[in-house]
Amino acid sequence: MPCTRVTPSLRPMREQSRQSRPAPAASRSVLTPALLRAVRQQFRLDWHGIHGAPHWARVRANGLAIAARSGARVDVIELFAFLHDSCRHSDGGDYQHGRRAVDFAYALRGDVFHIDNAGFELLAEACSTHSNGGLDGELTVRACWDADRLDLWRVRITPDPRRLATSEARLPEVFNAAKKRADVWVGRRW
């Protein structure tokens, strides 16, 4: 299930023919060892690099902080965190990586993770558009985008609060906690 195909549209992901299951309980993570193995097996870049597993873990933490205050879907945020950059071919300009991540998620859905159709729609939207700089959209999608944006400190960029799509991401406790998480990694990396 490598990240090579790019769908021309999200229409295939919207097919009702895929078996769906209810979203997992809020207290149970959708991040399973099988999912992490599948992601790691096909990931092309430095596992510990700027778009690797430490970034995904911080995106998850940022997203969970936003979800706890906003009611965004935790299952979507967790999947987004570990899939949105998983199909990058480079750390530089790779403008199709979000679409490849959607294709990869589609291939894994039903075998490695389960999510209902509405949740998958949100995941597909968040992954395919996370690099576009959008501010408008469904709450969970915006929470995913902000979870990623709050980790810009890892590359020595301070997130602009005006470019965050949720008010929860701009809260001092969420914003500053994200900075602290990134600072720890940057201190080790640089």
Max CA separation in the chain (angstroms): 48
Residuewise pLDDT in 10s, the chain (190 residues): 667 654 444 434 434 333 434 444 445 899 999 999 999 999 998 889 888 899 999 999 999 999 999 999 999 999 999 999 999 988 888 788 889 999 999 999 999 999 999 999 999 999 999 988 889 999 999 999 999 999 999 999 999 999 999 999 999 999 999 999 999 988 776 5
Closest CA to 115 of 9, 35, 1, 8: 35
Residue 174 lies in a domain: yes
> How many domains are there within the chain?
1
Residue 16 lies in a domain: no
Residue 54 lies in a domain: yes
Predicted TM-score of the model (pTM): 0.86
Report the distance separating Cα 146 and Cα 124, nearest Å. Answer: 16
Please state, in angstroms and as integers, the Cα–Cα distance from residue 44 to each residue in 4, 40, 58, 71, 81, following that order.
Answer: 11, 9, 20, 34, 17
Report the CATH number that the domain containing residue 179 is assigned in CATH: 1.10.3210.10
Residue numbers of the domain that contains 125: 30-189
